[in-house]
Amino acid sequence: MRSLNIAATGMQAQQINVEVISNNIANMSTVGFKRMRPEFQDLLYQDLRRVGAQSAQEGNVVPSGLQIGVGVRAAATYRINEQGNLMLTDNQLDVAIQGEGLFRIELPNGEIGYTRDGSFQLNPEGQLVTADGFLVQPAIAVPQNAVSVTINASGEVLAKLDNQVELQNLGRIDLAVFPNMAGLEAIGNNLLVESPASGAEIAGNPGEPGYGTLLQGYLETSNVNPVTEITSLITAQRAYEMNSKVIEATDQMMQTVTRLR
């Protein structure tokens, strides 16, 4: 009976659905995290009576046909890039993006990674780095005699040096956008990398058309909505249970057949 395999694909699909939801909930406190949404597709159909076939020699056409689907499969997980809330930290090296764009980070292999996590720190050389020590691009070094650091909305990093009145410009943090932001590949550690689906990066300065602005002393929280996720979790659980009921009903029907005399 097809219903056994069909219901099994439904249970597998809802298992993936629950796994995606659980990952969203687990990352509720992850800075800059963007929630994921699973997408599903129906599988192939078996044509027991093909649509448009002729039912007689006179050329009468079957109006609807008879097709039976064979289940469902997970097709993709879509990253929803809506803005998260801004959390005040009062840390001069914390930076949040208001609007579009990603920070550019140099990875250990020399490639460029991308993130919305602006919880930056300084390495022993005074360079601006992520929590894992990866350099923020373009590289910016803060002098040891700097009293304070200011990062303005357009990405300029200004330092107040000891015994100096004027601020020293240390460089500018730029941002990157992509034709398809959802096509970026997540590699963990709050990092994304370019993929054939995302297209090539388009780098620009914060505040320019198409790019967000920077806000010093803030961090962007995840855009996970706990109420939405719990509601989706309940829906997925009920769908899983209903598919299991189909398997139970099919098993009872097969038992009835085996008891026939």
Beta bridge pairs of residue 213: 98
pLDDT, position 58: 66
pLDDT, position 49: 76
pLDDT, position 259: 86
Q: What is the pLDDT of residues 166-221, one digit of tens each?
A: 899 999 999 999 999 999 999 999 999 999 999 999 999 999 999 999 999 999 99
Question: What secondary structure, in 3-state letters, does 128-178 show?
Answer: EECCCCCEEECCCECCCCEEEEEECCCCEEEEEECCCCCCEEEEECCEEEC
Q: What are phi and psi of 183, to 5 degrees?
A: -85, 0
Q: What are phi and psi of 112, to 5 degrees?
A: -105, 130
E-strand ranges in the chain read 36-42, 45-49, 66-69, 72-79, 86-88, 95-98, 102-106, 112-115, 121-122, 128-129, 136-137, 146-151, 156-161, 168-172, 175-177, 185-188, 191-193, 202-204, 213-216, 218-220
CA 134, 135, 140 angle in degrees (round to 5)? 155
- 3-class state of residue 22 by DSSP: helix
pLDDT, position 197: 93
Peptide bond into 138 cis (omega under 30): yes
pLDDT, position 233: 96
Which residues, given as ranges, of the chain have pLDDT below 70?
Answer: 55-58, 261
pLDDT, position 56: 66
pLDDT, position 164: 83
Both tokens of 147, joined, read 């009293």
